[in-house]
A = this chain, B = another copy of it.
């Protein structure tokens, strides 16, 4: 399984936001929507065995499971609508027990630390870092978990948690990328392992 955790620092924690202003009043929810799309979609297909976890304001986590998700489309607005639906059921999310809010999408009442602890037990946590080993040279890990931040940098506390949890440190290239673009490149890094010409 490939997993992606994206921290939405300014993301909404209630459903009281407009789909017309995702990049503004909805706290850059557009970034998180593009991350879901990058994590889950192939051309005319959905990837197998991917989970993407959106940490909303360090209070809730919305998880999309590519194996079971339905009604998901690649555009920002419709993805944001599914996240809003998830937040409408936030009263049902008690402790760490996930509530399925639409097929393949679930909500948990936990922030970054709880989400990271959970995914770290099941996979290899990869820290993307300018000083990491170039991915072009690296051997893809088994059960990779990529941890990313939205338009803001990780806070010191988040950085410490990630430093502690990280099993591997990789650099995807010399250019700093948006989180959704990093997800696309990370997938390609994993996809092209062993993908060489026959010569």
Contact = CB atoms under 8 A, between A and B. Distances in A.
A141 interface: no
Interface string A104-136: 000000000000000000000000000001101
A172 interface: yes
A134 B197 contact: yes
A38 interface: yes
Given A188-B172, A197-B134, A23 B75 contact: yes
A71 interface: no
Interface in A8-44: 19-20, 22-23, 30-31, 34, 37-38, 41-44
Interface in A152-191: 172-178, 181, 184-185, 187-188, 191
A176 B44 contact: yes
A17 to B, nearest CB: 14
A74 interface: yes
A91 interface: no
Contacts of A187: 175, 181
Contacts of A23: 73-75, 77-78
Contacts of A134: 192, 195-197
Interface of A: 19-20, 22-23, 30-31, 34, 37-38, 41-45, 47, 73-78, 133-134, 136-137, 151, 172-178, 181, 184-185, 187-188, 191-192, 195-197
28 contacts: A23-B73, A23-B74, A30-B74, A30-B76, A30-B77, A31-B74, A38-B184, A42-B177, A42-B178, A44-B176, A45-B176, A47-B175, A75-B76, A76-B77, A134-B192, A134-B196, A134-B197, A136-B192, A136-B195, A172-B192, A173-B192, A174-B191, A175-B187, A181-B187, A184-B184, A184-B185, A185-B188, A188-B188
